[in-house]
Structure 1
């Protein structure tokens, strides 16, 4: 039997479950998650090989239209990264949240209007629909918004119907040799994943206390036989944000470091020595040159 291999873009508005879906498909965390919208800032590739089929999923930042954020360089970067992922894909999985249709869902749908690849609609979080009798009429209604290759209700967090979604995606993989080794699960480095894990723990611990003007840069990543040394610089825009992040007597930054270190040890497979530093760099999130130096680069 010939091999198949293709790129699959996972699209949707912020906080709709794109990263959760990809992590479940891969069986491990590649994309970070939190309840905060716009947790994902980069294209993150997840690779799954099953027999002769290789799926290359591209998790994307949520496309958003918030007027107050639209002119920020980092928000422009995230929208560009999401749109760029649509180039030359073989299939798109468009995720929406239950039986709600928002203006941002409409924006994503309009971005997909020029995409020639088949689009599969995944209706996520169906386990949270209290009145299940509303689901079928909703699926019929939403099917009229464009011609979808398939519509699949899923609960990404619990894996409900995810296998059915993968089966639909598999129908659209072209015949091709595999682009990656069969045991590779992402194109991202351990250094990148370490930075993302620190950022995830900050977002989970701080909730709405810290705005989006926070990023993480790995300054040292040194692997020894039984221990990995990682130094991470957390960058914020104001002194008050630094104070919030460090917490009373440094308790908050200690908790963030502990949670990040434990998860890093599972990822890298060794003990981890993690050092965290917090620095104020005013205006970094609206400075194209600063963003590029921090790894926000579409190239």
Structure 2
């Protein structure tokens, strides 16, 4: 909780701090109050549609409870934020008695490789045997970076040369994982968006290979979104969702933005559950997303320092 509070400190100062100041400076719940609340939320990257719905819900709840004093409304805002986030509270789908295959997608620079490393570290610390597959063969740097992380975490990486067929890497990685009786295989993929048709074709081929070898897999297709890119993350997500059938989101670099409201926009507009959040640079700083804990940390009175 303290780590999450610290990670959300920029967002808390920028958003909750402004809401608290608004509550203190306004005496009553009039049109000016609601308009200013909308403005604060939109500036925090909550998104226009989500903001309008959120404020409308808060208004209705305040009316129902016969509230007139703005000082009473803060707890209502907190409740409505939590309710919105609970919409898609879904844990990671990790089967217990078979090889779990996790496909990780996202644009280059979103924190995809480090998120894979953090995920591998987490499973490794839980005592699971983890393998990584370097199917982003488009860039030599991607393979090298994943290799460094694999060594650091203490897991095996299955890789080919730059320019190799990603499908061949995936095929080899699945067979290696089966031969070594691995519990979890995490596969990195290319993150270029310049040509959507190529992206769709490549991911589709990878998924077909996985499903041919393990019919129920991939068990998760996790899209890594950089929280600092704000509303751009939404448009990226829509392209990947169309191309890959995303099952969950990893929101990276949440500690690096003052606009953490993007998490509300993502939940509402994409209807894809946020499953993990990145709240720091350490290997242990990828956490399961809990709407309750996130809301408590966001509205906490201090930064947890």
Report which of the two structures shows the higher radius of gyration computed on alpha carbons. 2
Same fold at TM > 0.5: no
Higher share in strand: 1
RCO greater where, 1 or 2, for CA within 8 Å and sep 6 or more?
A: 2
Instruction: Give the TM bin, normalised by the shorter chain.
Output: 0.3 to 0.5
Q: Please, what TM-score do these two structures have when normalized by structure 2?
A: 0.37
Q: Please, what TM-score do these two structures have when normalized by structure 1?
A: 0.38
Higher share in helix: 2
